[in-house]
Chain A
Amino acid sequence: MGGNLSKPPRPDKRVPDELVRTAVTLVAGLVFAAAAPRVALAIGESSFFEVYAVEYSGGDPHPRPTAPYRLGWEVRKRTSIEVPLQHGGARLDDPAIYEHPFLYWSGDEAFDELSDAEIAGLRRFVRFGGFVLIDDAAPEQSGFDRSVRRALSRAFPDRPLRELSGNHTIYRSFYLLSRPEGRIRGPDHLEAIEIGDRVAVLYSRHDLGGAWARDNLGSWQHPVTPGGDEQRERAIRLGVNVVMYALCLDYKDDQVHAPFIMRRRGGSP
């Protein structure tokens, strides 16, 4: 954990002429949407992939309010995954989380201890295949980290967080990456709780959302250090990889094994 103990930057809300900028954004968005060759396809709401936020008491569950939207936007732009440009959220004891198997749990300060019902909800969500991305928006401080580790140790007492190996599928599920990076460079690893052979809970102390967040005009809301825009791009790529992993698991490992399995084949039906 590093250096600066000050409160991490928040978006500057004192933007002049906000209405004008919003209007420009809308017009630009409509022009791009009309020009785009792609048609949003889905049958019913469940066909979409949605970044669903975890709500909780005692802290700020949305330190990077636009981060879920921006992650969805990047995934939609860069991959074949269908993502609605909307996002919602629910507490862990709300059955609504079982409608959205990808949860984004963020914060920048300590939060109240989760209730037993929330702990049970988290456990059940993971047990039935859900994926949780935990993003510490204030890795320079320890409040959120302490609260998260306490909650996870209650929910999964026999499965502690472990460092994820550098050659895990998450680093090559779409982009080829060598290490995690976010708004800060942070530790050279992610941490994870694995259920069977899948990562069910992924914990980043790099403020991924801080690197993804933009304002309504598309301007980046937070500087990325020390790598600047290149590091921000790698943070976005990591977000895409995480979503791809949540939806495809170790599919990329299949690719490695496919030729071997193919060679073993023969005959016809």
Chain B
Amino acid sequence: MNDWAFTLAIPGGAWAAAGLGLALAALLALTLLELRREPRPRRRWILGGLRVATALAAWVVAVQPRWVAERMEQSEGRLAVLVDASRSMSLPRDGDSRAARARALLARWAEARGEPVATFTYGERLSGAELPALAESLAPTEDQSRLAPALSTLLSQEEGHELGAVVVLGDGAGPDEVDPATLARHGVRVHAVATAEDDLRDDAVAEVQADPVGFLRRPARVRVVVRSVGGPGGPIPVTLRRGDEVEREVVAEVPADGEVAVEIPFTPTRLGREVYRVSIPRAPGDAVPENNERAFLVRVTRDKLRVLLVAGQPSWDERYLRAFLKRDPATDLISFFILRNTHDLTMAGPDELALIPFPTDELFNEHLGSFDLVIFQNFEYGPYQMASYLPRIRDYVLRGGSFAMIGGPLSFHSGGYAATPIAEILPVDLPPPGTPSTRTQVEDRFRPRISEGMARHPLLELLPTPSANAEAWARLAPLDGANVVSRVRPEGATLLEHPEHRMASGGPLPLLVLGTAGRGRTLALTTDTTWRWGITTGGQTGDASAYERFWDRVVRWLARDPALEPAQVTTDRERYGPGATVRIEAHLRDERYQPHGEEPVSFVIVDANGEPVAETRARTDREGRAEATAELPSRPGAYRVEARLSGREQAVAREWLIVEAGGDELADPRAAPARLRSLAEATGGTFFAEPEDAPALEELDTTRTRSLGTVERAPFASPWAFVLLVGLFVGEWVLRRRWGRR
């Protein structure tokens, strides 16, 4: 039983008790004043005494004082040894490393210990080990030292049952604070052995914070925390590099044994993944040069999606699509519409018209490469001397641009694109030149049909659940007419098709086909009446959001929105230490969004030069998901994980990561023996400042102290207390009446 604790049961605790006491005292004082008129002192003393006793009894019954104590059980528990295996243990200490000092102690324990003891290492997670083996080869390779989760894991495992004490052997560094109360609840005490003092001399790039996404030619900033311990502080130059090129250098005024944050501006100038490095020079006596440099990745994109929309004539289809694109603040829209043809009679001179010549050279020669997406909407190229630009548009797509052709009487075959460079990149084949228009267009009204197996394609996902999505498609207004194509190319994926008309080759007439050409994406939409999903559907149903959702998905797919990529690879972190283990997850689907199910997949770690440096294999499940782990190289730098399927040269998905010499683990390499000391003291264990001070394991206290619950004493909570109160009151009242008082 431990010490009794006193409490009051009255709501409001001590304050309420005090308030009640004051009120009773005041009332008592008034009644005692009234007793002064009693001439006989004996009666006065008896009545006064009874009133004081009644007031006291009333106060005690009201505040209900009680005493609580905890019953404890003590028994001999088991012992477990936890050894820090993080990279900070590799740092030097007295001419040796912290890990070497730990190994020496482990060897002493292994030699003296007669029976096996449960032994573990902790870093990012808890791992089982053998004491003799650990004494031989403790390898500090873990990227983090997470003592708190390791202790939680241990207590939840079988080895944690009936545990009396845990010996923690490490430097105390790490991001987590251990809650001693958790250990106390399990009756476990911690003995701690520190492998180092906090007397390191080190300058470090402690922290780097930058947005993972940057915009091309837009200023960005990285926040860098520079820390100096054990030294005089002062100005420290901080250099930001992109690759090997110096981007910017600033000076950080670091206080002695302190840190300072500096912001370094930079401007990304190339699209794609860029690796930036922040470094400081090595000062004399700097014990940990590995943390003098940190790296970070920035995915450089354009701040806005740049879309070129060219329409062959004003129409409702153009009106609604342009309005949609203009509304999106993330889109920079350049549109050019043919408002007048050579045969139109404007009845006005050029200076009376607000028309400008079609800037074909400016759009398709000078600035074509600056667009992310080019849309030809019901546009024929012939009248505008554009034949010489068609190869440029094809090459733009092959290099990675996106192109969409939207149907109409001036589009596809009717726009003269058969046997042109544009036909080479479309996901559909066009009828040969000279085919009469009666065979290149259909004019009836119809409801498009979702192609078989495409109901889950993200472009058609107007609503999240399949049944709601099917209903949403059924509510859309029917479309009018379509351009006829002769064949869907093998790489094309038909999402929507005409319910009745068929191609000459036999398949249903496609309405929406996605494809790829080189590194670019293409889309063919053979109707010019999706605007009806705006006003016609909206007017009839009160909801036109389907139009916006459809076109939002179309544009995002063409712009390669990562969230819509069919194949994705992710890693558990972005930064790793040398030789660390990376956990890889992948969701692999083909361009038709059908899963690569039950297929072998290899994850290849590739360096910045494209050379493979490691590989691991896995197998996808039916949904195309796979998991694997791989060991990263020890050389710092940027790497990417590529998911490769057998029989394909190109990776189907990739993700970047960084290997750092220092990383988060060495960002603050100071040992924290004080943290170990307080943990030991709070749990009833013993702290040893040096490994040499630690006794044999058998000498450590493994007494398991466990609570059996609490005991409570509340003497005034019984009915007798109330009877006493009533008795005192009645006695005083009876005497008062007998002695002639009121």
Q: Which residues of A contact B (CB under 8 A)?
A: 36-38, 41-47, 49, 77-82, 95, 97-99, 101, 121, 124-125, 127-130, 172-176, 198, 233, 237, 244, 246-252, 254-255, 258, 261-262, 265-269
Contacts and interface: CB of A to CB of B under 8 A. Distances in A.
Given A47-B481, A248-B318, 11 more contacts: A42-B481, A46-B529, A49-B314, A80-B341, A98-B540, A124-B542, A125-B539, A129-B535, A173-B354, A244-B314, A267-B271
A156 to B, nearest CB: 17
A261 B531 CA distance: 27
B396 interface: yes
B170 interface: no
A80 B407 contact: no
B133 to A, nearest CB: 55
A43 B441 CA distance: 7
Contacts of B340: 78-80, 174
Contacts of A174: 339-340, 353-355
A38 B343 contact: yes
Interface in B160-218: 216-217
Contact of A43 (B271, B356, B443, B540): B443
A24 to B, nearest CB: 22
Interface stretch (B31-39, B366-374, B648-656, B705-713): B366-374
Contacts of B345: 77-78
A45 B443 CA distance: 8
B353 A44 contact: no
Nearest to B318: A247
Contacts of A233: 347
Contact of A97 (B326, B334, B362, B539): B539
A79 B344 contact: yes
A63 B535 CA distance: 28
A254 B333 contact: yes
Interface string B314-345: 11111110110010000011110111110111
* 10 pairs of A and B residues whose beta carbons are closest in the complex: A44-B480, A44-B481, A98-B539, A43-B481, A41-B409, A128-B538, A268-B369, A265-B370, A247-B314, A46-B480
A175 B348 contact: yes
A78 B354 CA distance: 13
Given A43-B408, A249-B322, A175 B352 contact: yes
A268 B520 CA distance: 12
Residue from A36, A41, A44, A95 whose CB has the most chain B CB atoms within 10 Å: A44
A143 B347 CA distance: 35
27 contacts: A38-B343, A43-B529, A44-B443, A44-B481, A47-B408, A49-B315, A78-B345, A80-B341, A80-B344, A81-B315, A95-B539, A101-B319, A128-B535, A128-B538, A129-B535, A129-B544, A174-B353, A175-B348, A175-B352, A176-B351, A176-B354, A198-B323, A247-B315, A249-B322, A254-B335, A265-B370, A267-B369
The contact size tier of chain B is 35 or more
A268 B399 contact: yes
Contacts of A43: 407-409, 441-443, 480-483, 527-529
Nearest to A257: B334
A249 B540 contact: no
A248 to B, nearest CB: 5
Interface in B519-534: 520, 527-529, 531-532, 534
Nearest to B303: A264
A133 to B, nearest CB: 15
B604 interface: no
Contacts of A244: 314, 339
A269 B355 CA distance: 30
A139 B217 CA distance: 56
Nearest to B396: A269
Nearest to A128: B538
A78 B370 contact: no
Contacts of B539: 95, 97-98, 121, 124-125, 128
Residue from A124, A246, A250, A267 whose CB has the most chain B CB atoms within 10 Å: A267
B401 interface: yes
A266 B370 contact: yes
A127 B538 contact: yes
Contact of B354 (A41, A97, A172, A249): A172
B444 interface: yes
B343 A46 contact: no
A101 B316 contact: yes
Given A80-B312, A254-B334, A175 B369 contact: no
A172 to B, nearest CB: 4
